[in-house]
Amino acid sequence: MKGYRRYFVGKFLWFCITLVAAFILNFTLPRLMPGDPVAAIVSRLAQGMSNTTGVQAIYEQYAELFGTNRPMLEQFVLYLRNVAQGNFGFSFSQYPRTVADVLRASLWWTIILQFPAIIVGWIVGNTLGAMAAYRKGGFDKVLMPISIFMSSLPAFGMAVVLLVLFGVTLKWLPTSGGYGFDLIPNLSGRFIWSMFVHYQLPFWSIVLVTIGGQAIGMRSMAIYELNADYVRYSRFMGIKDRKIVGYVFRNAVLPQITGLALAIGTMVSGALVAEIIFSYPGLGTTLLTAIRGQDYPLISATTLIITIMVLVANFAIEILYGFLDPRIKAAQAD
Partner 1 sequence: MRHLTRQVFNSGKFVVGFSIFVGILLIVIIYPILFPYPPLEIIGQGNFFPPGLYVNVYDSIFTSHYILNLDDATANRIASKLDSEDRLAIQKWLTASGFPESEIDIENTAQLLDQWTNNFDPTKRFPGMTNADRNYFIRLNNSLKGLLSTEGAIIAVENPETASLEEAGVVAQNDYIVVNEVPNVRLLPLGTDNFGRDVLTELVAATKVSLIIGFVAGSIATLIGLILGLLSGYIGGQVDDVIMFFTNLLTVIPSFVLLILISFSIGQEQRGAFTIAVVIGLTSWVWTTRAVRSQVISLRNRDHVNLSKLSGHSISYIIIADILPYIASYVVMALILQISSAILAEAGLSILGLGPRTTEVATLGLMLNWALIYQAPILGYWWAFYPVIIVIALIAFSLNLMNTGLDQVFNPALRE
Partner 2 sequence: MSDAILEVRELTTKYITRFQEDVYAVDHVSLKVEEGKSLGIAGESGCGKSTLALSLMGYYFPPLHYTSGEIIIDGQNISGMKPDDVRKSILGKEIAYIPQAAMNALNPTQKVIDFIEHVIEAHNPSATKNEIYDLAKRLFEALGLPAEVLQKYPVELSGGMKQRTVIAISVLLSPLVLIADEPSSALDVTSQKMVIKMLRNLMDKGYIKAMIFITHELPLLYNVTDDIMVMYAGQVVEMASAEKAVFDPLHPYSKGLMGSIIVPEEGLRDVKLTAIPGVPPNLKKPPSGCRFAARCKYVQAECTATSIPLRDIGNGRAYRCIFSEAELREKYDREARNNG
- Minimal distance in Å, beta carbon 127 to partner 1? 19
- Whole-angstrom distance, CA of residue 223 vs CA of residue 140: 12
- Minimal distance in Å, beta carbon 214 to partner 2? 20
* Of positions 139, 193, 233, 323, contacts partner 2 by CB under 8 A: 233
* Of positions 175, 234, 251, 332, contacts partner 1 by CB under 8 A: 175
According to the binding rule CB under 8 A, does residue 277 interact with partner 1?
yes
Measured from the CB atom, the residue of 211 and 231 that comes closer to partner 2 is 231
- Minimal distance in Å, beta carbon 240 to partner 2? 6
| Type of residue numbered 177 | G
- Minimal distance in Å, beta carbon 217 to partner 2? 18
Measured from the CB atom, the residue of 29 and 331 that comes closer to partner 2 is 331
In angstroms, what CA-CA distances link 183 with 113, 149, 178, 193? 19, 38, 10, 11
317, interface contact from partner 2, partner 1, none, CB < 5-8 Å by kind: none
Cα 58 → chain centroid = 31
According to the binding rule CB under 8 A, does residue 327 interact with partner 2?
yes
For 90, phi then psi, to 5°, come to -85, 150
User: Treating both helix axes as pointing N-terminal to C-terminal, what angle do 189-226 and 155-162 enclose, rounded to 10 degrees?
Assistant: 130
152, interface contact from partner 2, partner 1, none, CB < 5-8 Å by kind: partner 1
If you write DSSP's letter for every residue of 252-294 in order, what string do you get? HHHHHHHHHHHHHHHHHHHHHHHHHHTT-TTHHHHHHHHHHTT
* Of positions 5, 136, 240, 243, contacts partner 1 by CB under 8 A: 136
Q: Taken in order 224, 218, 231, 321, is the CA torsion positive or negative?
A: positive
- Minimal distance in Å, beta carbon 32 to partner 1? 7
According to the binding rule CB under 8 A, does residue 235 interact with partner 2?
yes
- Whole-angstrom distance, CA of residue 223 vs CA of residue 130: 8
Report which of 271, 260, 269, 281 is spatially closest to residue 213, judged by C-alpha positions: 260
* Of positions 243, 269, 320, 323, contacts partner 2 by CB under 8 A: 243
* Of positions 52, 56, 227, 258, contacts partner 1 by CB under 8 A: 227
- Minimal distance in Å, beta carbon 135 to partner 2? 12
276, interface contact from partner 1, partner 2, none, CB < 5-8 Å by kind: partner 1
Report which of 295, 248, 306 is spatially closest to residue 272, judged by C-alpha positions: 306
- Whole-angstrom distance, CA of residue 330 vs CA of residue 334: 8
From 122-130, 191-199, 230-238, 292-300, span contacting partner 1 (CB under 8 A): 292-300
